[in-house]
């Protein structure tokens, strides 16, 4: 071959490569500006504090994401409550009367579930039961336990979750879950289907604590966290609105929710299940964290916790199972992700995976951004990581659906969480140091009300009312990135 | 010889492109961050730059308090009907429901005491103040140049 031919071939290769790069750049998921401005920042700040940041996915001027924005009385808007969630679930039966819910190895039709919940609700009403106590280990442990939980939720009965009966010394409880289970045994064993749910709104349905979580901090101190209806619906709305319209969760989806550690994440698990109800998706709840078990349900959306990720072991496990073709697709997918473009090179039903971790919790885990891209490529699914905190439902910060950036190694040391702000909260840093690190203060609608009880003594609220409702995240420091994301570091 | 050099250059170009794919980002680079305005005391001269033109933020003073009206940029920003009030003490203009420039106190003059307003004008001003309190964030107070 002559030199001229070689030169022409090289020139053609360069041009094709150039055009290809231009094409990838022009078709990437979001422009760079989208990822560099992930927060709305208030124009002013107080001395020694940062400005208040909130999600840029909010409708500016309308404040934080509070609820489901349900229209009533022609023009008024209300936030919603668990009864509305149940109404949406039952309304979905019109289009699919055979819809199922799976709980571990049990399967129940939604119409049967509605029948049982309806009858337990009537029993709670008839007996004036206003609060019950249920062990952590009984949270969604069986269909019967779940029926009672849903009946309590829509009947404004407070459900207190506890570890041991000693934890309940200072709390008022009408009934225990096991006792109630025996009382309603005949109701639960009856079979039938119900395709309607009458939901007449009144203000009382929005009030009162729905879930109360009791934890013993040490030998003498007990912490209770109360979650109101608004805490639940603000989480559901914020979770759904975090997704762009083309990726939203809908009736065609099958949602898998893992319930591995009820001790730390039962309220999060409950909200994910309710999110499935709101969107009329098929809901599967499992207490397994084995990846093989999870994918055997063939879900399209998976809400899992850090135990499934297993500190990155999941990535290695999936990589080991790749064939030659699979490895090529993986490399190609990784290349496109590095260019800001997510591409599916497989036929898996799974399209969206959530990982949730509690910052500062016993299972706290940082999801390295490079590993997340590997997961996206291996699973052919989008991945969102939610970094929560002890008494919040849902995350404080979470990764954007389109954020495939890999963080510089210099800033990931001691990093315990990072991402854009959840739509139900706003955040500021206080006690700012010269390096712009500060204590993280959070205010919003998904924060439970915390009371610390000293056994045989008084109680004290954790939220400092003198601080405009902001709550300090203990044990961590934060710094704002120029991209509007919060970077959370362990102390 | 030239062909070899060109091929080597092309290979280097492809390699550079390959390695640039694994670039990482550092959003904590302090040089890129800008600090918001610290809330507190303003004087007419320190307030005037927040008019939507010299600075994208829009602040406005009403009865001695400074409001962040940036959200209402269509009204108070450049080209808006109330643009004369941006970065200024708008009390007298609001009291008289007038956008006239001569109702704004010059920057080098003492603060407007508003003592000569009629009861109707005071009522109008109070109504505007309530509107701003409900809609916009208070970010500080307005003081004369010589006040400590």
Lookup: tokens for A300: 């399209």
pLDDT of residue B30: 67
pLDDT of residue A10: 84
Contact A426, A52 (CB under 8 A): yes
Max Cα separation, chain A?
96
CB nearest to B57's CB, from A10, A43, A482: A43
Considering only CA atoms, give the Rg of chain B: 26
User: DSSP label at A31?
Assistant: -
CB atoms within 10 A of CB A439: 18
Which positions 6-65 of B are in contact with A (Cβ < 8 Å)? Answer: 6-7, 10, 13-14, 17, 21-30, 32-33, 35-40, 57, 59
Q: In order of start, what are the domains of chain A with their CATH numbers?
A: 41-490 (3.40.50.12780)
Model confidence over A187-208: pLDDT tens digits?
Answer: 889 889 999 999 988 888 898 8
Contact A93, A86 (CB under 8 A): no
pLDDT of residue A115: 96
Q: What is the mean pLDDT of the segment spanning A478-491? A: 93
Beta carbons of A406 and B25 less than 8 Å apart? yes
pLDDT at residue A363 tops 80: no
Kindly report the average pLDDT of chain A as a whole number: 90
Instruction: Give me the percent of chain A exceeding a pLDDT of 90.
Output: 65
pLDDT at residue A220 tops 90: no
**Residues of A395-411 as b/e, b for ≥16 C-beta within 10 angstroms?**
bbbbbbbbbbbbbeeeb
Residue B60's nearest CA partner among B140, B134, B147, B144 is: B140
- What are the Cα distances from residue B132, in Å, to A24, B48, B68, B72, B126? 48, 19, 9, 11, 10
pLDDT at residue A462 tops 60: no
User: How many degrees, rounded to 5, is the angle at CA A163 between CA A160 and CA A169?
Assistant: 65
Does the interface ipTM go beyond 0.90? no
Model confidence over A250-307: pLDDT tens digits?
Answer: 999 999 999 988 888 899 999 999 999 999 999 999 999 899 999 999 999 999 988 8
User: DSSP label at B104?
Assistant: S
Model confidence over A390-435: pLDDT tens digits?
Answer: 889 999 999 999 999 999 988 899 999 999 999 999 999 999 998 8
DSSP strands (E only) in A274-321: 282-286, 301-305
Contact with chain A for residue B81, Cβ under 8 A: no
> What phi and psi, each to the nearest 5 degrees, are found at residue A42?
-65, 150
Determine the angle formed by the axes of helices A82-91 and A229-241, rounding to 10 degrees: 50
Tell me which residue range forms the domain holding B93: 40-142
Contact with chain A for residue B134, Cβ under 8 A: no
- Kindly state whether residue B6 falls inside one of the protein's structural domains: no
> What phi and psi, each to the nearest 5 degrees, are found at residue A176?
-105, 150
Model confidence over A106-153: pLDDT tens digits?
Answer: 999 999 999 999 999 999 999 999 989 999 999 999 999 999 999 999
What CA–CA distance (Å, rounded) separates A359 from A487?
12
From its phi and psi, is residue A69 left (phi > 0), alpha (psi between -120 and 50) or beta?
Answer: left
What CA–CA distance (Å, rounded) separates A89 from A84?
9
What CA–CA distance (Å, rounded) separates B9 from A295?
47
Interface test with A, best of B9, B25, B138 (most A CBs within 10 A): B25
- Kindly state whether residue B34 falls inside one of the protein's structural domains: no
Lookup: tokens for B31: 């040089």
CB nearest to B7's CB, from A10, A410, A479: A10
What CA–CA distance (Å, rounded) separates B126 from B135?
14
Q: What is the mean pLDDT of the segment spanning A368-380? A: 94
Sheet holding B137-142, edge to edge: B40-42, B137-142, B65-68, B59-62
pLDDT band, very low/low/confident/very high, at A179 (cuts 50, 70, 90): confident
What CA–CA distance (Å, rounded) separates B47 from A17?
53
What CA–CA distance (Å, rounded) separates A432 from A136?
39
pLDDT band, very low/low/confident/very high, at A347 (cuts 50, 70, 90): confident
What CA–CA distance (Å, rounded) separates B133 from B67?
8
- 3-state SS, residue A358: strand
> What phi and psi, each to the nearest 5 degrees, are found at residue B128?
-65, -40
Interface test with A, best of B28, B58, B71 (most A CBs within 10 A): B28
pLDDT of residue A425: 96
pLDDT band, very low/low/confident/very high, at A61 (cuts 50, 70, 90): low
pLDDT band, very low/low/confident/very high, at A466 (cuts 50, 70, 90): low
pLDDT at residue A342 tops 50: yes
- Kindly state whether residue B112 falls inside one of the protein's structural domains: yes
Model confidence pTM above 0.95: no
pLDDT of residue A460: 54
Lookup: tokens for B23: 């670039």
The CATH number of residue B105's host domain is 3.10.120.10
pLDDT of residue A463: 46
For chain B (length 148 residues), average pLDDT per consecutive 10?
A: 79 70 75 74 92 90 92 90 92 90 87 90 93 90 80
pLDDT top residue among A371 and A262: A371
What CA–CA distance (Å, rounded) separates A266 from A391?
11
Looking at the structure of chain B, the number of domains it has is: 1
Which positions 402-431 of A are in contact with B (Cβ < 8 Å)? Answer: 405-411
Interface test with A, best of B12, B13, B24, B55 (most A CBs within 10 A): B24
């Amino acid at each position: 071959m002559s030199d001229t031919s070689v030169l022409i071939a090289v020139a053609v290769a360069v041009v094709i490569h150039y055009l290809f790069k231009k094409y990838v750049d022009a078709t990437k998921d979001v422009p760079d500006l989208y990822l560099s401005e992930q927060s709305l920042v208030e124009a002013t700040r107080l001395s020694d504090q940062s400005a208040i940041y909130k999600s840029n996915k909010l409708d500016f001027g309308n404040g934080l994401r509070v609820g489901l924005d349900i229209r009533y009385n022609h023009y008024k808007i209300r936030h919603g409550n668990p009864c509305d969630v149940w109404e949406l679930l039952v309304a979905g039966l019109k289009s699919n009367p055979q819809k199922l819910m799976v709980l571990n190895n049990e399967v129940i039709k939604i119409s049967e579930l509605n029948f049982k919940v309806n009858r337990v609700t009537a029993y709670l009403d008839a007996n004036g039961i206003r609060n019950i106590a249920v062990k952590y280990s009984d949270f969604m442990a069986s269909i019967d336990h779940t029926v009672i939980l849903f009946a309590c939720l829509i009947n404004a009965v407070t459900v207190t979750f506890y570890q041991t009966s000693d934890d309940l010394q200072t709390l008022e409880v009408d009934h225990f879950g096991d006792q109630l289970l025996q009382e309603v045994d005949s109701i639960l064993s009856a079979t039938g289907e119900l395709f309607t749910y009458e939901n007449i709104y009144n203000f009382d349905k929005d009030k009162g604590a729905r879930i109360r979580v009791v934890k013993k901090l040490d030998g003498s101190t007990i912490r209770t966290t109360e979650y109101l209806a608004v805490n639940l619906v603000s989480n559901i709305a914020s979770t759904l609105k975090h997704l762009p319209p083309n990726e939203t969760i809908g009736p065609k989806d099958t949602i898998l929710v893992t319930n591995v550690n009820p001790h730390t994440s039962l309220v999060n698990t409950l909200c994910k299940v309710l999110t499935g109800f709101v969107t009329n998706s098929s809901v599967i709840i499992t207490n397994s964290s084995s990846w093989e078990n999870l994918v055997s349900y063939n879900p399209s959306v998976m809400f899992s916790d850090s135990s499934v990720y297993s500190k990155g072991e999941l990535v290695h496990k999936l990589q080991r199972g790749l064939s030659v073709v699979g490895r090529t697709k993986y490399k190609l997918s990784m290349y496109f992700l590095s260019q800001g473009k997510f591409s599916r090179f497989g036929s898996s039903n799974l399209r969206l995976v959530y990982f949730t971790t509690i910052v500062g919790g016993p299972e706290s885990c940082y999801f390295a951004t490079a590993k997340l891209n590997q997961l996206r490529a291996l699973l052919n699914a989008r991945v969102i990581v939610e970094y929560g905190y002890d008494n919040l439902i849902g995350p404080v910060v979470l990764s954007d659906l389109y954020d495939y950036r890999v963080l510089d190694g210099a800033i990931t040391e001691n990093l315990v969480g990072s991402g854009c702000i959840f739509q139900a909260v706003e955040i500021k840093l206080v006690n700012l140091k010269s390096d712009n690190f500060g204590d993280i203060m959070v205010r919003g609608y998904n924060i439970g009300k915390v009371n610390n009880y000293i056994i045989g003594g008084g109680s004290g609220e954790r939220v400092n009312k003198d601080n405009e409702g902001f709550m300090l995240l203990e044990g961590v420091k934060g710094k704002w990135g120029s991209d509007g994301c919060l970077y959370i570091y362990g102390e | 010889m030239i062909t070899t050099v060109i091929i080597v250059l092309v290979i280097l170009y492809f390699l550079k492109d390959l390695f640039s794919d694994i670039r990482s980002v550092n959003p904590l680079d302090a040089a890129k961050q800008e600090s918001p305005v610290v809330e507190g005391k303003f004087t007419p001269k320190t307030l005037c730059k927040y008019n939507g033109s010299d600075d994208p933020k829009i602040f406005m003073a009403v009865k001695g308090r400074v409001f962040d009206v940036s959200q209402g940029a269509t009204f108070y920003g450049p080209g808006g009907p109330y643009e004369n009030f941006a970065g200024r003490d708008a009390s007298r203009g609001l009291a008289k429901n007038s956008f006239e420039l001569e109702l704004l106190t010059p920057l080098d003059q003492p603060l407007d005491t508003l003592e000569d307003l009629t009861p109707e004008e005071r009522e109008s001003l109070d109504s505007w103040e309530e509107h701003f309190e409900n809609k916009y964030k208070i970010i500080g107070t307005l003081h004369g140049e010589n006040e400590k």
